[in-house]
Structure 1
Amino acid sequence: MNSASATAAPSSVDLGNVKRLPILISLIIGAFFSILNETLLTIAFPELVNELNVTASTLQWLSTGYMLVVGVLVPASALLVQWFTTRQMFLGAMILFTLGTLVCSISPGFSLLLVGRLLQAGGTGLMLPVMMNTILVLYPPEKRGAAMGSIGLVIMFAPAIGPTLSGLILDSLSWRWLFYLVLPFAVFSIIFAFVYLKNVSTPTKPKVDILSIILSTIGFGGIVYGFSSSGEGGGGGGWSSPEVYGTLAAGIVALLLFVWRQLRVKEPLMDLRAFRFPMFTLTAILLIIMMMTLFSTMSLLPFLFQGALLLSVFASGLIMLPGSLLNGLISPLTGKLFDKFGPRALVIPGTILLTIVMFFFTRVTVETTKPTFILLHICIMIAISMIMMPTQTNGLNQLPSRYYPHGTAILNTLQQVAGAIGVALFIGIMSSGQEKFLLDSGDPTNKALWPEAMVAGVHNAFLVGFGFAIIALVLSFFIKRTTSPEQQDNTNK
């Protein structure tokens, strides 16, 4: 065992008498409402622009700032989960999130609302790693799929249902109710966890490498902020803005230095030696593709529905509701199927379905019927649920237990970075295709052509997504069921 890994010792807590179900319920309740807030507020932006008297670019900080804080905190979580107990991490995260929700609900203006959102993001950034790390410690590999499937219900279902739920609330209530309604559930989660959540890990308190924390903050923060800002027209100029390419350049340089340092220090903040395990590396690549697909689809379809089909925000949310609900319902089922049949039985059919659906999205038109869009969205959400959590569980299963904090931190960080890159990339492609269509038409100011231009831009974006799906399909044939070195040692004895 190398010294770099020794500090991430597995739990020494006796898990024989620990009741797993109450702990799992505690994690799911808290994580659902914290992750839900990533997409819950976005649909209220038009109303907030008028009510708070700020510009759209300023208001976008409520979303960009949220992603930025989560992107910065998650890499440091590998250290935090080794310094604090399960209860301390979870309760601390939920208290921080609840405080942020309260601040948002009573904020009189933009500044305090932004402070509340950043506090919420801090709770969410701490919640994700402690949730996954607890599952890895609490459940043996042969039962991990079902538990991770329940976590998948939260990670994918919560942000997917956010716009629909938000549209329903805003249809009759003010934007503050987006926080009022979450607050009692957050308080309940704290009380439930205080009663039922038990510690499943023992803090080892490794050395704190301040330089690694600084490089991680600049690296991941710069990349997430740069890509998020480019997709939102950050600085008023998109990719041409110094704010965008400057932060991206700083982020990339800092990230390269961060990687170099992690491979040299004895007690790394994020142990990148986890990539020595091939199934974990394959998981990381597939996860990047899936998160880009998920976040880009969630971003592109509202543009298509509202810009080309001229539907209302609420109607757009209703079209995406069946797929979102089904995604949440079948995530635990795919986890159980993973435990029984392994990853290949789910991931290969899932990537085939994903490839087919992405191809059909490149063929949609303004005449495409709403039931067709509902069916396509259902299929893509099923495909993602068949791929993401089974792949993630399989990759983490190959890691020795001392790598659990680092493995979960790596994958959760990649989710945030891939989400930011996916939204920026696909919206950028869509916008470029839309502009090209209007210029080629000879009459770019003709509003009658705008729906067709939107469809043309979406076609280009989904064509790139189709290419990513083909890559995922090829990679899926290399996946195989894994066991950790500890399991192999026990089998050989």
Structure 2
Amino acid sequence: MPNLNEASPGSTAALTARYGERFRWLLLLSVMAGTVAAIMSSTVVNVAIPGLSHQFQLGQERAQWVSSGFMVASTVAMLTTPWLLARFGYRATYSGCMVLLLAGGLMGGFAPNFSLVLLARVAEGLAAGVVQPIPALIIMRAFEPHEQGRASGVFGMGVVLAPALGPSVGGLLIDGFGWRSIFFMVVPFCIVCLWLARRYVPISGPGGMAASRDEALDWLGLALGTAGTLCLLNGLVALRGGPAWESGGLLALAVLSALVFVAWQRRRSARGQAPLMDLALFAWRPFAMGSLVALIYGTALFGSTYLLPVYMQMALGLSASSVGAILLPAGIALAVAIALVGRLADRQPANLLVNIGLSLLALSFALMVTIGLGTSVWWLMAFSIVGRIGLGFILPSLNLGAMRGLAPGLLAQGSSVIGFVRMLGGAAGVSLCGIALEWRLAAHGTALTDGSHPAARLAAFDEVFLLLAALCALAMLAARGLGAGSRLRPAG
């Protein structure tokens, strides 16, 4: 295990002395690069789902697990981040994630069958899940309050810009080199990130830890979280075409797993052991409301990221490269919006900025209903831009609104948990969009592969977009709870 002594050459103190005040920005940019690579790998594959389905003769339900498998692994892995940072330090944890992401990319690119593709996606999801909470923790511990909004804007560019640009990059790669190229895309990113980690990421890091170096990981809690997530997603999928007893049983097991998980976390806290998820976080109302917003927001964001490329290709008949070209300006608009909002987040109330973003995102989904088979692609591009500007308002403000006021000892847990609920919403969102789409297609008497009923197929997509708009409106009610308040005491 690494030496975490602050006097060592790789310590925060030593690196600060070497690089001066700019060190915290170099550190944030280094881990953000890994976040971009990890999250882009989650969404870039969505454009390849039609190609994968054709290559391995998959139905939509099975092909959907290319996205859902990543999301499940990523969601559960987030809960282990505080323990891994305490046990192995920042540099080893971050570098290990990049090595795992690199291995997943190579495995997926060379995979001869769908089982290895799915295994590669799970490996990439584990890496993405562990690395994502790290930048938010660095922001809260290494930056002064008046700089946190600007730093959150930089972090938000990694978290949200990657899903926005993923389909654009993926479309170009697939048309030029085939679906395997999307897995190889992460390889150069990971190599650069490993070099940055060696140079700028400290052994220990600026954040407080939630567990001691000698404490074992809460394996029972992790198993319960994994079982609950898998039962939830499989139960949602079974709602579409399986027997009622199967979907009902799986969803009941998901609820039971959640209840046992909560009871077990309380028991560990009462014993003085570090829980996998510190439930004291939810006593802080802004954090509780922020987590609810993150859950719904994740559902809408990742559900739409799955839905939009399929909609453009299967309903509107556009090529993968055309999808990429349409979404690229929206990604640029997002980059501009998130940089500006990051500065506003230091001065404006979080609930105001989050609600503006949710309003724009809901409007974008609602406007998709006006798109027809003869509509100019410029309107499609414009509506996508509106939604991405909305995303630019949400993420920097949401993290700060939820986590400001938490005690230092709870920050690592707070960053991990809010990422967990956002990804849980995302994993459910991909499944819910697939379920809702199949449901509405069946109601209109058509299917994705049925080229003889384009109007009916388009109507089914429109109804799913309206569902996503309604979810965003629901999140606006919870966002009213984001605000200032008293500081929580450290747990234990």
TM range (shorter): 0.7 to 0.9
Task: Note if 1:413 corresponds to 2:420.
Answer: yes
Task: Note if 1:273 corresponds to 2:280.
Answer: yes
After superposition, what is the alpha-carbon deviation per residue over 1:391-446, rounded to whole angstroms, capped at 9, x for unaligned? 1221111211111122122111112211122233234333333333349xxxx999
AA in 2 matched with 1:451: P
Separation in 2, partners of 1:24, 1:214: 31
Partner residue in 2 for 1:400: 407
Partner residue in 1 for 2:431: 424
The 5-angstrom pairing of residues 368-387 of structure 1 reads 368-387=375-394
Q: 1:218 aligns with which of 204, 227, 245?
A: 227
User: How far did residue 128 of structure 1 move?
Assistant: 1.0
AA in 2 matched with 1:222: C
Separation in 2, partners of 1:328, 1:344: 21
Distance change (3 Å), C-alpha of 1:360 and 1:404: same
Task: Note if 1:30 corresponds to 2:5.
Answer: no
AA in 2 matched with 1:210: W
User: How far did residue 139 of structure 1 move?
Assistant: 1.7
Separation in 2, partners of 1:385, 1:65: 27
Q: 2:441 aligns with which of 417, 434, 439?
A: 434
Separation in 2, partners of 1:287, 1:320: 23
Is this contact kept in 1: 2:290–2:481, CA < 8 A?
Answer: no
Partner residue in 1 for 2:94: 90
Q: 1:130 aligns with which of 129, 134, 141?
A: 134
The 5-angstrom pairing of residues 92-491 of structure 1 reads 92-198=96-202, 199-200=204-205, 201=207, 204-205=212-213, 206=215, 208-227=217-236, 229-230=237-238, 237=241, 242=246, 245-266=248-269, 267=273, 268-438=275-445, 450-481=453-484, 484=487
Which runs of 5 or more structure 1 residues have no equivalent in the other structure? 1-11, 487-493
Partner residue in 1 for 2:3: none
- Alignment size in residue pairs: 465
Range with bigger deviation, 272-281 or 296-305: 296-305
User: How far did residue 215 of structure 1 move?
Assistant: 1.6
Range with bigger deviation, 19-28 or 451-460: 451-460
Distance change (3 Å), C-alpha of 1:69 and 1:445: closer
After superposition, what is the alpha-carbon deviation per residue over 1:9-63, rounded to whole angstroms, capped at 9, x for unaligned? xxx9659756112111210111111111112223234434454566665554433
Distance change (3 Å), C-alpha of 1:52 and 1:460: closer
Q: Secondary structure at the match of 1:264?
A: helix
Is this contact kept in 2: 1:78–1:409, CA < 8 A?
Answer: yes
Separation in 2, partners of 1:357, 1:107: 37
Is this contact kept in 2: 1:38–1:66, CA < 8 A?
Answer: yes
Is this contact kept in 2: 1:395–1:482, CA < 8 A?
Answer: no
Is this contact kept in 1: 2:208–2:411, CA < 8 A?
Answer: no
Distance change (3 Å), C-alpha of 1:453 and 1:130: same
Distance change (3 Å), C-alpha of 1:392 and 1:202: closer
Q: 1:42 aligns with which of 24, 46, 56?
A: 46
Distance change (3 Å), C-alpha of 1:408 and 1:421: same
Is this contact kept in 1: 2:265–2:279, CA < 8 A?
Answer: yes
Q: Secondary structure at the match of 1:405?
A: helix
User: How far did residue 165 of structure 1 move?
Assistant: 0.8
Separation in 1, partners of 2:473, 2:338: 23
User: How far did residue 291 of structure 1 move?
Assistant: 1.5
AA in 2 matched with 1:431: E
AA in 2 matched with 1:426: C
Separation in 2, partners of 1:482, 1:79: 28
AA in 1 matched with 2:293: L
Q: Secondary structure at the match of 2:294?
A: helix
Range with bigger deviation, 452-461 or 183-192: 452-461
Range with bigger deviation, 412-421 or 338-347: 338-347
Distance change (3 Å), C-alpha of 1:188 and 1:466: closer
Partner residue in 2 for 1:4: none
Separation in 1, partners of 2:310, 2:107: 31
After superposition, what is the alpha-carbon deviation per residue over 1:117-156, rounded to whole angstroms, capped at 9, x for unaligned? 3322221121112232233222233221221221211111
User: How far did residue 447 of structure 1 move?
Assistant: 6.2
Distance change (3 Å), C-alpha of 1:421 and 1:186: same
After superposition, what is the alpha-carbon deviation per residue over 1:271-328, rounded to whole angstroms, capped at 9, x for unaligned? 0110111111111121122222212222333343233322223222322221123213
Sequence identity of aligned pairs in percent?
26
Separation in 2, partners of 1:53, 1:148: 43
Is this contact kept in 2: 1:68–1:225, CA < 8 A?
Answer: no
AA in 2 matched with 1:371: W
User: How far did residue 270 of structure 1 move?
Assistant: 0.5
Separation in 1, partners of 2:408, 2:387: 33
Is this contact kept in 1: 2:81–2:130, CA < 8 A?
Answer: yes
Distance change (3 Å), C-alpha of 1:346 and 1:42: closer
After superposition, what is the alpha-carbon deviation per residue over 1:78-126, rounded to whole angstroms, capped at 9, x for unaligned? 3323323111211111111122223333334444443333322221121
AA in 2 matched with 1:128: Q
Separation in 1, partners of 2:347, 2:54: 53
Q: 1:74 aligns with which of 71, 78, 94?
A: 78
Partner residue in 2 for 1:5: none
Q: What RMSD over aligned residues (CA atoms) do the two structures have, in Å? A: 3.0
Separation in 2, partners of 1:250, 1:406: 26
Range with bigger deviation, 23-32 or 129-138: 129-138
Separation in 1, partners of 2:442, 2:350: 42
Q: Secondary structure at the match of 2:178?
A: coil
Distance change (3 Å), C-alpha of 1:280 and 1:471: same
Range with bigger deviation, 271-280 or 93-102: 93-102
Q: Secondary structure at the match of 2:390?
A: helix
User: How far did residue 386 of structure 1 move?
Assistant: 0.6
Separation in 1, partners of 2:125, 2:325: 27
Range with bigger deviation, 73-82 or 267-276: 73-82
User: How far did residue 478 of structure 1 move?
Assistant: 4.2
Distance change (3 Å), C-alpha of 1:257 and 1:453: same
Separation in 2, partners of 1:296, 1:307: 16
Range with bigger deviation, 51-60 or 447-456: 51-60
Distance change (3 Å), C-alpha of 1:166 and 1:447: closer
